[in-house]
Structure 1
């Protein structure tokens, strides 16, 4: 699930980004502080949810939401604002939620949980044509399994690669960069989509922008705020473990 945050106050933006990372699997792909820039972005890109402040330059959040409400495929809109008086108008625009600043952590966590549930439900409804019928004529889902062989792309060629040969992957705007010992590949998908292709027993999403092969970790270095930096075998790169992933990482690595 992809999201953008529209907020012109840096502390508020960073706090919301952190809460989204801690309490959900939502991937924040872009940040904006101007309403017109958001409209330009949406003309060429799709996103699933917009966390939208009201008091932003050029085109305020209400006018922006009103325009978006006319889209054929509309993203969920969650207003994040200090102004109570716009709540009625927000729900007339069929906003998913209206969250007041300063943020209440439990309130944000509950909203994110409902948002992910709504997204999964809506996705399931749109994917019904992709189901198959069993011998009794009942619908069954087509199973999807992460494979030990991954098709990586480079220079218009598809390179069939053993998953364990992948060291790490990093999100880079609309694509994911994938690294083996000696090669870099560009996959035309989000890191969340790429992560779903990988065997769960080998790879760990250690940060919203990074996935790492656990078998390639050479050194775990303590870092700021009780987080870690990971150094990999044969490479000089360092991979961060975010605050929201530290507990899970410690459990996996028996730290």
Structure 2
């Protein structure tokens, strides 16, 4: 572990098994006036030992590391009494949904742009407010810009090959995650499969009716057919749905 002086700003921990990448993120973090000190570790195991003895204001970590991965470490940190905000810094975008299910504050792709890292630090500063809301934010890309959609705003999800399209009242967004993965990860959040290629969010279901022998769900103003295979399951879930 290496450290830089801790001033009046945030003390953060950066973790990456590749020394050049670790040196780069430490350098960029030190350049931000909101950062008062940077600790560095080259493995998740070393980071855990560090965090047993020191408190930090945030953790910036890579995902793919030998032994304990960044996702594994974030899972352990989530069980801390006062878990630090986590920002993933990685060259791989396919873990974004899993990362945000672990309540990550942000997901920064390599190569790191200084202005993008500054945005992640802003999210760290605001993290206590967001964590109280309990909502999960999903990163979506549009025209090269990453923005975040609250999962509670998603009305339904449609499969598009190995991708999934998230629908909200404001529009739709494509994410590089299979529908089957979202169906499993978001089941506890009230997302129910109505077709092999569609999920609906129960809080947004407006109506269920039959039309020409088919069951139709109305959600977010859209009419979606329910397959015979999933009709009984949907009706059972809806009868258990609490009244607002």
TM-score normalised according to structure 1 size:
0.44
